[in-house]
Structure 1
Amino acid sequence: MTAPARIDGVRLTPVTAPLTGSVRLPGSKSITNRALLLAGLARGTSRLTGALKSDDTAHMAAALRDMGVSVEEPDETSFVVSGSGRLTAPQRSLFLGNAGTATRFLTAAAALADGAVVLDGDANMRKRPIAPLVEALAQLGIEAAAPTGCPPVVVAGKGGFEGGKVVIDARLSSQYASALLMTGACARGPVEVELAHAEIGAAGYIDLTLAAMRRFGAQVEQLGNRPAWRIEPTGYSAADVFIEPDASAATYLWAAEALTGGRIDLGMSAEAFSQPDAKAWAVICAFPRMPAVIEGSQMQDAIPTLAVLAAYNETPVRFTGISGLRVKECDRILALSQGLNAIRPGLAREEGDELVVEGDPALAGQERPCRIDTFDDHRIAMAFALAGLKTAGIVIQDPDCVAKTYPGYWDALAALGVELTFGA
């Protein structure tokens, strides 16, 4: 029951029984993109299994191919990546859609190419800030320019750089720091990466980056108790990597369990995930008595899930520490507020960069005809599908946008017994 491309909307028929069954989650987007890049920078052939195949990872793989890396796809969850430890300048601009992870990681890695690299994306990507990373690259002697502060970015690749120290403001995105850390191992000398501010969005993703780097042979150490790391100029060696399932994707199924009183086997316990969004499990388990305040800075991609779940909570929930959601695939704070208020006026409100969801358990079983504008954002579409499990009349616009990270999402819901009407 996969949604055909460019379909207008999908309506879910509310379920009348607990959702039960098993779902095979896609591989982690975060880990897949890190592993793809590091395998592309490594000497030799790496095999990545359990990987995510989606729009985001397809853009990363295509960009690596354009820079001289062999990327084969023997099956639906594997990549075989062969590289020489060098990148060549592409013959064309690298088009990366709205793949923020790939754009940021490759902006730094482009310094290793032997010529100019242009990185661009779609209209949404051209609104996503890249200036802090461009400014940080200049500290390492790498010439890069993004006149609007957002893509397109032009990097004057010179086959590498000498090394040195860089201080990065990663408050908007930890991906800026991750990009520098991963590229640092390919410098000609040691690189020190220090955060200008200790508080950053989703600091746990730095841990994912460091673990991936070490898996490919990097030598990196934290400098004391400071948010700073030293990377030795080892380059990378090929490795075989199994990629764990995507924790952000798991949050939708965990929330579906909570909303319906169901039991969905994901093949992996919440405690076994290494990704930061798995922290959402504890909050979901508290439903319908979620905490009055949820600090979301360390699980930002789970906030859409939690916000829609909070609409059915017994008491109001305030989400704090989520300013970074303003510069995701869309302004997610605005999208969540607008979508929740479409279901019931006054259900949510923005207060600065915080979101308050009032909570209204009576919405379950009601009919509230509305169309949810997803802003072409996969997480908005997947999160609001949860509301459709309990409230009739909700139409999710542009359902095929879930292909960005979870192409099989609608199939998974259908397999659990959810009735979907496409073209609604």
Structure 2
Amino acid sequence: MFMPAAAQAVRLAPPRHPPHGRLTPPGSKSITNRALLLAALARGESRLTGALASDDTTYMAKALRAMGVAIDNPDATTFHIKGTGRLQTPSEALFLGNAGTATRFLTAAAVLAEGHVVIDGDSNMRKRPIAPLVNALRSLGVAIEAPTGCPPVTIEGCGGVAGGAVSIDAGLSSQYVSALLMLAPCGRGPITVSLQGKSIGARGYVDLTLAAMRHFGAEIVAEDEASWTLAPSGYQARDFAIEPDASAATYLWAAEVLTSGAIDLGTPVRAFTQPDAKAHALIAAFPHMPAVIEGSQIQDAVPTLAVMAAFNQTPVRFTGIANLRVKECDRIHALANELNRIAPDLAREEGDDLVVLGRQDLIGQTTDARIETYDDHRIAMSFALAGLLMQGLTILDPGCVAKTYPGFWKDFDALGVGIEPIG
């Protein structure tokens, strides 16, 4: 089997003909990790189908097993979870790599254990802020410490959390809100979760969380657009079918547009509930993308759109994307830096905005650019799109796509893209 992900780099060549056929994106990372946790906190057996099998979901499942949850994988996209409504204290620190969802969600859920729990990650995760969540949990009486404001986090679990009210600064990440919301139904009394101010990293992901919670039996009352009261209902075991990953779908939607191909994803755009699906309309506008794209609610799609913008007819400014600086890497800087490897002054940072100068004259050219990926799956996959239009583009560390889309290079190969493994 063709396995470029094991190589140190891959050199790309555009497909000779517009690709046609069907490709199915992997299951949603965001929904899979939410469903894994909710099923683990429920009493009884749940079955998740269409799930994502990747580094991020593997870290989540492994951590839950370490906390006493029985999880089986009868096949690559199915999880059987047997929950007891409780979590046990793990025998050692929970290492979660650079999985942001798993780290934030489990930091809150660890309160339900009885004893000392350490949440840790790799060197990149140790640079990603978690202080707003720590401060919110501390206000609920949780004994929790994160001296650097980033992982590692130490929690002294006491088997539950008191009822009451908690406010959270969600300006850096909506995952802080989702973590508190998913914990709340396991409280000893009703808990009201409120936003501090109106700023929130990506509101659509909070809606995704609330929908998954309701599926597993949570009783939620929306007090207004920025606060929710959750009854101490716990969760009920449920089967759950997980939709394809919208962030992953953006690469295939973009490939179809950039090559004038016809790629059937098996799921219509309107069927996606994830926020990044809103990027489809912007992708479809190429090569007449709008002059300004506000990216706060489609954050994981911004790298896809930024690389497309390099070949647009006119410049594109990306705004509302400051949170991209605290993702797997500083994605604003990474995008600007790597686009400028393709052509000098192709992109620039202006504060926390990214400006990409559209240059259609680059289409069909040969380049010797070697794209650094910063151990960031989205940088690797988004810049692979440039390889659809330019000859010779090299992507370093292609294996980093395993974080959320292990079959990415196999799918790209199926599109007719020339992929030459190097090293």
Smaller-chain TM-score bracket: over 0.9
Q: Does 1:333 align with 2:328?
A: no
Counterparts of 2:304 and 2:147, CA distance in 1: 35
**Counterpart for residue 190 of structure 1:** 190
The 8 Å contact of residues 68 and 87 in structure 1, kept in 2 or not, is answered as: yes
How far apart are the structure 1 equivalents of 2:376 and 2:361? 28
Identity, % of aligned pairs?
65
SS in 1 for 2:199: coil
1:4 Cα offset (Å): 5.7
2:236 is aligned with 1:214:
no
Deviations 1:366-385 (A, max 9, x none): 01111100000000000000
Match of 1:106 in 2: 106
Q: Which residue of 2 aligns with 1:399?
A: 398
Tell me if 1:76 matches 2:76: yes
List per-residue Cα deviations over 1:288-327 (Å, max 9, x = no partner): 0000000000000000000000011000000000000000
Q: What is the 5 A alignment of 1:26-41?
A: 26-41=26-41
Indicate conservation of the 8 Å contact 1:216/1:239, yes or no: yes
Partners of 1:330 and 1:377 within 8 A in 2: yes
Q: 2:13 matched to which residue of 1?
A: 13
SS of aligned partner of 2:158: coil
User: What letter is aligned with 2:25?
Assistant: L
Q: Provide the residue aligned with 2:243 in structure 1.
A: 244
Matched letter for residue 331 of structure 1: D
Partner AA of 1:127 in structure 2: K
Deviation, 1:415, is 1.3
In the alignment, which residue of structure 1 is the partner of 2:127? 127
After superposition, the CA RMSD in angstroms is 0.9
Q: Does 1:65 align with 2:26?
A: no
SS at 1:381 equivalent: helix
Q: TM-score, normalised by structure 1?
A: 0.99
Distance 1:374 1:69, change over 3 A: same
**Structure 1 partner of 2:151:** 151
CA distance in 2, matches of 1:304, 1:4: 22
Does the Cα contact within 8 Å between 1:191 and 1:231 map onto a contact in 2? yes
Alpha-carbon distance in structure 2 between the residues aligned to 1:361 and 1:144: 52
**Greater shift in the superposed pair: 71-80 or 412-421:** 412-421
Distance (Å, rounded) in 2 between the aligned partners of 1:6 and 1:336: 24
Matched position secondary structure for 2:205: helix
Q: Does structure 1 residue 304 correspond to structure 2 residue 300?
A: no
Cα distance between partner residues in 2 of 1:164 and 1:396: 50
Residue of structure 1 in register with 2:199 after alignment? 199
Code of the aligned partner of 1:16: R
State the one-letter code of the partner of 2:101: T
SS in 1 for 2:386: helix
The residue that corresponds to 1:256 in the other structure is 255
**Are the equivalent residues in 1 in contact too, given 2:216–2:236 (CA < 8 A)?**
yes
Cα deviation 1:171-200 (Å, max 9, x = unaligned): 100000000000000001000000002121
Q: Is the 8 A contact 1:178 1:209 kept in 2?
A: yes
Deviations 1:338-378 (A, max 9, x none): 11000000100000000000010111110111110000000
Contact 1:293 1:320 in 2 (8 A): yes
Measured in 2, the distance between the counterparts of 1:392 and 1:345 equals 17
How far did residue 2 of structure 1 move?
A: 4.8
Aligned residue type for 1:232: A
Q: What is the deviation of 1:271? A: 1.3
Distance 1:40 1:315 in 2: 49
Is the aligned partner of 1:345 residue 2:344? yes
Query: Which contiguous aligned blocks of 4+ residues in structure 1 show a shift greater than 3 angstroms?
Result: 1-6
2:368 equivalent in structure 1: 369
Q: How far off its partner does 1:147 sit?
A: 0.4
Summarize the alignment of residues 168-179 of structure 1 with structure 2, pairs less than 5 Å apart: 168-179=168-179
Matched residue SS, 2:281? helix
Q: Which amino acid aligns with 1:355?
A: L
Q: Secondary structure at the match of 1:396?
A: strand
* C-alpha distance in structure 2 between counterparts of 1:414 and 1:177, whole Å: 39
> 2-side partners of 1:20 and 1:382: how far apart?
20
In structure 1, C-alpha distance between the alignment counterparts of 2:101 and 2:72, rounded to whole Å: 21
Counterpart Cα distance in 2 of 1:161 and 1:234: 13
Counterparts of 1:119 and 1:12 in 2: how far apart (Å)? 39
Judge conservation of contact 1:3–1:399 (CA < 8 Å) in 2: no
Tell me the distance in 1 between the aligned counterparts of 2:236 and 2:269. Answer: 31
Cα pair 2:309 2:315 within 8 Å, conserved? yes
Q: Secondary structure at the match of 1:256?
A: helix
Q: Indicate the residue corresponding to 1:91 in structure 2.
A: 91
Deviation at 1:7, TM superposition (A): 2.5
In 1, Cα distance between equivalents of 2:76 and 2:163: 38
The DSSP-based 3-state class of the residue aligned with 1:196 is strand
In the alignment, residue 218 of structure 1 is paired with which amino acid?
Answer: A
Partner deviation per Cα, 1:142-196 (whole Å, 9 max, x = no partner): 1110001100000110000111110000010000000000000000100000000
Please give the alpha-carbon distance, in whole angstroms, between the structure 2 residues aligned to 1:3 and 1:18.
Answer: 23
Classify 1:2/1:33 alpha carbon distance in 2 versus 1 (closer, same or farther; 3 Å): farther
Question: AA paired with 2:384?
Answer: A
Q: For residues 37-80 of structure 1, what are the alpha-carbon distances to aligned partners after superposition, in whole Å with 9 as ceiling and x for unaligned?
A: 00010000000000000000000000000000001000010000
Contact 1:348 1:355 in 2 (8 A): yes
| Matched residue type, 1:187 | G
